[in-house]
A = this chain, B = another copy of it.
Amino acid sequence: MFRNDYSEGAHPSILAKINSTNTLQSKGYGEDQYCESAKKLILDHIGVHTASVHFFVGGTQTNLTALSAFLRPHHGIVSPDTGHINLHETGAIEATGHAIIPVPNKNGKIYADQVRSILKNHMPVHMTKPKLIYISNSTEYGTIYSKKELYELRDVAKENDLFLYLDGARLGVALTCENNDLEITDICDCVDAFYFGGTKNGALFGEALVILNTSLQNDFKYFIKQRGALLAKGRLLGLQFQALFENNLFYDLASHANQAAKKLSSGIKDLGFNLLTETETNQIFVIVSNKQHEALLNKPEFDFEFWEPHPDGAVIRFVTSWATPDENISKLLFALNEIRD
On A, residues with C-beta under 8 Å from B are 1, 3-4, 6-10, 12, 15, 18-19, 21-29, 57-65, 68-69, 72-74, 76, 87-100, 102, 123-129, 199-200, 204-205, 219, 221-233, 236, 303, 323
Determine chain A's interface SS by DSSP, over half rule.
loop
Among B3, B65, B128, B221, which residue has its beta carbon within 8 angstroms of that of A125?
A: B221
Contact for A225 among B9, B99, B126, CB less than 8 A: B126
Asked if residues A231 and B57 are in contact (CB atoms below 8 Å), the reply is yes
With contacts A15-B22, A74-B222, A76-B91 known, what are 4 further pairs, Cβ within 8 A?
Answer: A4-B28, A15-B18, A73-B96, A95-B97
Contact A227 B230 (CB under 8 A): no
Query: Closest residue to A102 on the B side, CB-wise?
Result: B102
Asked if B228 and A123 sit within 8 Å, CB to CB, the answer is: no
Tell whether A123 pairs with B88 under 8 Å between CB atoms, given A97-B95, A102-B102: yes
Interfacial chain B residues near A3, Cβ < 8 Å:
25, 27-28
Cross-chain contact B219 with A129 (CB below 8 angstroms): yes
Shortest A243–chain B CB gap in Å is: 14
A273 to chain B, nearest CB (A): 24
Q: Which residues of B contact A1 (CB under 8 A)?
A: 25
Shortest C-beta distance, A113 to chain B (Å), equals 15
